Structure 1
Amino acid sequence: MRVLIVGAGGQGGPCASILAHDKDVAHIILSDININSAQKVAEKINSPKLTVKKVDAADPTSVADAAQGMDAVIDLVITEFTATVMEGALTAGCHYLNTAFYQPFFKQFINDEPLLFDKEFREKGLAAILGCGMAPGFINVIARLYADKLNTVDSIKLRIGKKKLGVEEMLSPWTPGWSTKQAILDCAEETDTFAEGKFSTVPAYSGVETYDFPSPLGKMLVTHHSHEEPVSMPRFIGKGLKYCDFKYYVSPQPAAFVTAGLASEKPVEVNGVMIKPLDFLIKLLPGAENAFLNEDPSKYDYMDKNQFVCMIIEVKGQKDGKDIHYKIHLPKLTGNAHELNALFGTCLVNVALPAVTGMKMALSGKYKGVIGSESLDPNYFLDRFLATGIPYKWEESIL
Structure 2
Amino acid sequence: MRVLLLGCGNVGANVARQLVPRHPELECVVGDLDQGNAEKLAAELGPRVRGVRADVLDAACLDELLDGVDLVFNAVGPFYRCAVPVIEAALRARVDYIDINDDHDVAEKLFLDPSWHQRALAAGIKLIIGCGSTPGLTNVMAKLLADRLDKVREIHLATAVPFMPEALSPAVVDHMVHITAGEVMQFIDGEYRQMPGWGGRLEVPYAAPFKAYPSFFIGHGETVTLPHFIKGLDQVTNRIAFFPEAGSQVWRSLLDLGLGSSEVIDGLGISPLKFLTHHLASEAGRKSLAVDLSDEPWAVATRVEVVGERNGAEIRNVLEYHINLPVTASEDSTADPTPTCARLVIEAWLAGKVSGQGLLAPEVCLDAEAYVHAFACESGATFISTENQVKRHLHA
**Runs of 4+ with >6 A deviation:** 335-338
Distance 1:113 1:279, change over 3 A: same
State the match for 1:106 in structure 2: 108
Instruction: Give the aligned partner of residue 383 of structure 2.
Output: 394
Give unpaired runs (5+ residues) of structure 2: 283-295, 389-396
| TM-score for the superposition, normalised by structure 1 | 0.82
Q: Which amino acid aligns with 1:315?
A: V
**In structure 1, which of residues 286, 306, 316 is the aligned counterpart of residue 307 of structure 2?**
316
Q: Equivalents in 2 of 1:175, 1:262: separation in Å?
A: 15
CA shift, 1:27, in A, is 1.9
Deviation at 1:325, TM superposition (A): 0.8
User: In the TM superposition, what is the alpha-carbon distance from 1:136 to its structure 2 partner?
Assistant: 0.1
Looking at both structures, which has the greater relative contact order when contacts are Cα pairs under 8 Å and sequence separation is at least 6?
Answer: 1
* Contact 1:33/1:54 (8 A) holds in 2: yes
Query: In the alignment, residue 276 of structure 2 is paired with which amino acid?
Result: L
1:152-231 to 2 correspondences below 5 Å: 152-163=151-162, 173-175=166-168, 179-231=172-224
Cα distance in 2 for partners of 1:177, 1:141 equals: 29
Which residue pairs with 1:83 in the alignment? 84
The equivalent residue for 1:265 is 262
Q: Give the aligned partner of residue 299 of structure 1.
A: none
Classify the secondary structure of the residue corresponding to 2:263.
coil
Partner of 2:34: 34
Structure 1 runs not aligned, ≥5 long: 288-304
Taking the aligned partners of 2:42 and 2:297, their CA distance within structure 1 comes to 30
Alpha-carbon deviations, 1:285-343, whole Å to 9, x = none?
Answer: 559xxxxxxxxxxxxxxxxx9521001111001122221110111112x66999xx9xx
Distance 2:55 2:104 in 1: 19
Alignment of structure 1 residues 125-140 onto 2, 5 Å:
125-140=124-139
- How big is each residue's C-alpha offset from its partner over 1:232-251, in whole Å with a ceiling of 9 and x where there is no partner? 1100122x111000010044
The one-letter amino acid of 1:119's match is: Q
- Match for 1:359 among 346, 352, 356? 346
Conserved in 1, the CA contact under 8 Å of 2:144 and 2:368? yes
Q: Report Cα offsets for 1:194-235 as digits up to 9, x if no partner.
A: 111012112122111222222232121111112111111100
CA 280–107 in structure 1, closer or farther in 2 if over 3 Å, else same: same
Q: Match of 2:205, SS?
A: strand
Q: Which whole-Å CA distance do the structure 1 matches of 2:131 and 2:110 have between them?
A: 18
CA distance 1:93–1:23, shift in 2 (3 Å): same
RMSD: 2.8
- Following superposition, the deviation at residue 14 of structure 1 comes to 0.9
How many residues are matched?
Answer: 363
How many Å separate the matches in 2 of 1:286 and 1:28? Answer: 33
Q: 1: CA distance between counterparts of 2:278 and 2:41?
A: 21
Aligned residue identity for 1:266? E
State the identity as a percent: 23
Looking at structure 1, the residues matched to 157 and 304 of structure 2 have their Cα atoms a distance apart, in angstroms, of 5
- The question of 1:244 aligning with 2:246 is answered no
Matches of 2:305 and 2:237 in 1, distance apart? 10
Deviation at 1:21, TM superposition (A): 2.2
Distance 1:68 1:184 in 2: 35
Structure 2 length normalisation: TM-score? 0.83
Q: 1:104 to 1:213 in 2, by over 3 A?
A: closer
Contact 2:107 2:221 in 1 (8 A): no
Which residue number corresponds to residue 321 of structure 2? 330
How far apart in 1 are the matches of 2:240 and 2:30?
31
- In 2, are the aligned partners of 1:127 and 1:371 still within 8 Å (CA)? yes
